[in-house]
Structure 1
């Protein structure tokens, strides 16, 4: 039976009101991917967090331990000035079995995002099988680990990230299973003589225009991407009614329809969220069996 669904808290972020960021320089500084992988004969949650801010730049991988709040975690410093510090291996034990995490960032290339765009790998290995492989250097990873791909591939359950900006917020979201991520741009007009508005574009095409945000600061719509439905949920209450930097707007992108309703035009999301400061409808929970992208958009001016 599916567990009750609730909205997750936003990941940590720097104080946006103190660290002003221009539209040109706005970038992600925190992204967490949650996978489900079969580790030590059981399906477990594997979280991968990429973080870059003024004090540190790292990636961490955590593996869930059943009946234990503490996770087994490997943290890798991506700012190491020595090439030997960017290649390594960490091993730990789960239920008497050895689990290895291999990584190589010696040739990694970065853009504005906390994660590299190429030239790296991170591999989670158990009993000579690669359970989860990140990066583009797949051949190097299999050669070094002397392992083969797992027969049961890890499943991506959710992505959470922070973005900063004034009027423009950009991200990349998986809107089709097994396909490349799509470019998503959220543009806003929150001040001026006209009522506040918001536009959401996918791959350069306008997908949704939300007018009268003072009345529609929470809601949802279904848009079509390559003839497939994508649900978009939003809560921009903090943008409109609280001080800048006090809290983010929340956007959720979900391919397909929510499993609990057969009505694609259901207003359950809106009705259940009215009068509430936090949604209680969605959580990145393996029992839901579907993918969610959570975007926390922080205004900086």
Structure 2
């Protein structure tokens, strides 16, 4: 991996503003939840309509799993207000009509889902399917249930746009650490991303580290004024990604749900070009945006 360039705090602010529109950066983790993973998918229907599908898998502080879906209709560069639906049962179907008139059917069965450390199912026999205007816009799952549903309606063209992973750390800990796997471009290689913010509260002796595939790509040994940063990295497979971090609230904020450490990694459309706040998506076409938020209790 090769570090291509560094940018000032201003570029981080611009990037974060754009990220908020798709990944929901401004939404802190609900106090009743221990962890939540939200993936946003963009489906293009044969009619020319576009629909953003947000799927949130969550785990409460008591350990109970949860599932929520939300929809944004895409019209040019604008989106309608999000329509959110909590799926309280482990199996069922629901019919929805969006503000733009798209007929949506949500079908799910997570009774056989298996979970590990993530709130998202890691295996088992389960599925979540979204049918929009009689086209299969999204199908998630594993096992026989998922395969049987795949033989149903005609499939629309959909792809992952962004992924936000939120988790709550023990209040007594001064370390935020998390590892996940992600593809930064549709059809690209899967990469392991590990983030860590550690050290004494107040940031004097604090450290920030971001690693991709086991190699450190961003690091601040003494946080001090380096609590925000941004740099571009060339991965071994030739992909160029922007790596951003903001641990100000983790070190200097009050205790509670709002004291979070933010880490962002996304594919870059053009070398030397950053997000602009008015861009409709948080990643270039075919690219994926990863956002990790670690909170104190």
| More displaced stretch, 244-253 vs 284-293 | 284-293
Distance 1:30 1:202 in 2: 22
Aligned to 1:113: 118
Aligned to 1:62: 70
- Identify unmatched segments of 5+ residues in structure 2: 1-15
Distance 2:43 2:117 in 1: 29
Distance 2:250 2:176 in 1: 13
C-alpha change, 1:129 and 1:281, in structure 2 (3 Å) is: closer
Aligned to 1:183: 192
1:175 positional shift:
3.9
1:7 positional shift:
4.6
Aligned to 1:133: 139
1:97 positional shift:
5.8
1:110 positional shift:
1.0
Q: Is the 8 A contact 2:233 2:243 kept in 1?
A: yes
The answer as to 2:281 corresponding to 1:285 is: yes
Distance 1:70 1:195 in 2: 43
- Identify unmatched segments of 5+ residues in structure 1: 20-26, 78-84, 270-279
1:154 positional shift:
1.0
Which protein shows a greater Rg? 1
TM-score (norm 1): 0.72
Aligned to 2:231: 221
Identify the match of residue 211 of structure 1 among 202, 206, 221: 221
Aligned to 2:108: 103
Aligned to 1:157: 161
The answer as to 2:280 corresponding to 1:298 is: no
Q: Is the 8 A contact 2:207 2:222 kept in 1?
A: yes
C-alpha change, 1:251 and 1:188, in structure 2 (3 Å) is: closer
Q: Is the 8 A contact 1:184 1:200 kept in 2?
A: yes
Aligned to 1:147: 152
Q: Is the 8 A contact 2:18 2:281 kept in 1?
A: no
Distance 1:146 1:69 in 2: 31
- Residues 28-107 of structure 1: pairs in structure 2 closer than 5 A: 29-39=35-45, 41=47, 42-54=49-61, 57-65=65-73, 69-77=80-88, 85-94=89-98, 98-107=103-112
Identify the match of residue 264 of structure 2 among 237, 252, 275: 252
Higher strand share: 2
RMSD of aligned residue pairs (Cα, Å)? 3.5
Equivalences, count:
262
**Equivalent residue of 2:123, what SS?**
coil
Distance 1:62 1:86 in 2: 17
Q: Is the 8 A contact 1:36 1:45 kept in 2?
A: yes
C-alpha change, 1:286 and 1:214, in structure 2 (3 Å) is: closer
1:36 positional shift:
1.0
1:74 positional shift:
3.5
TM-score (norm 2): 0.73
